[in-house]
Amino acid sequence: MADTLVLTMSCPDRVGIVAAVTGFLAGHGGWITEANYHADAGSGWFFMRQAILAESLDFPVADFPRLIEPLARQFGLSWTISESRIRKRTVILVSRQDHCLSDLLHRWRTGELNIEIVAVVSNHPDLESFVAWHGVPFHYVPVAPEMGRAPFEEIARIFSEARGEVMVLARYMRILPPFLCERFPGRIINIHHSFLPSFVGSRPYHQAYERGVKLIGATCHYVSAELDAGPIIDQDVIRVDHGDSPEEMARLGRDIEKMVLARGLRYHVEDRVLIHENKTVVFA
């Protein structure tokens, strides 16, 4: 596939934004292959995503900040630019359950996800040989209450030294402290085995069973300092009934968890997610 540049923008809504941006791109020979727009009437905010053939522009990507600056000032734009040929460096955090990790490793190895898995971190040593078989560095970082913030400082160090761009909690069964969430805002993605905001915290399938729900699901969201309350990227559900035990719900839920996490991560690494306050605009 041809190398593309992905330009995302958000700003206060007003007349002329699309014309100005597309005119700027056309003026430099930019060939737009995909365009997405959303005007949020409630917040008065405008969101845009443009995919451009990299070879069509008459300037190198390094010059983009300088050339876009007049438009950014005129419209109050917040913007990002990324290159599709550069895979996002991904660090995965996992505990003992490996279904989400296995799925991501498979999608990475087959090229389905445009990521480079540069490290796996776990609070248990169980999956070390499995991860090593894939040729990925494995880091065992035990976590216990008496250790305080030290384990999470170590996770932050591993992430930074690996030049990580996105951290994925693939059923990592520990709560990240606020300092870590605030250090990497919009870069930590979690899969929660519950259709948030219902059934926050641990044992959500047991909570769902006790409540007698008819639908269970999974939520992929960004991690924030408030537990399970970060901006939601993707969700999905599956039907259950009164005959399903908590264990059967968990079995069914694992398939949903894998699919939702992979889809949410793909949206993120393809720059299809724009965060505004505690909500997202997802150009799927």
Domain covering 88-282 in this structure, CATH number: 3.40.50.170
Q: Residue type at 215?
A: L
Tell me the pTM. 0.93
How many beta carbons lie within 10 A of that of residue 113, not counting itself? 22
Question: Residue 40 catalytic?
Answer: no
Q: What is the mean pLDDT of residues 78-82?
A: 97
CATH class of 4-83: alpha beta
Tell me whether the CATH fold assigned to 4-83 matches the one assigned to 88-282.
no
Encode 43-78: b = buried (16+ Cβ within 10 Å), e = exposed.
eebbbbbbbbebebbeeeeeebeeebeebeeebebe
Q: What integer is the mean pLDDT of 44-68?
A: 96
Are 52 and 32 within 8 A, CB to CB?
Answer: yes
pLDDT in tens, 1-53: 679 999 999 999 999 999 999 999 999 999 999 999 999 999 999 999 999 99
Say if CB 114 and CB 87 are below 8 A apart: yes
- Which pLDDT tens digit goes with each residue over 158-182? 999 999 999 999 999 999 999 999 9
Half-sphere exposure of 228 (CA within 13 A, CB side): 19
Which sequence spans correspond to the domains of the chain?
4-83, 88-282
Q: Which one of the listed residues 3, 40, 103, 228 is annotated catalytic?
A: 228
Residues 27, 57: Cα–Cα separation, whole Å: 9
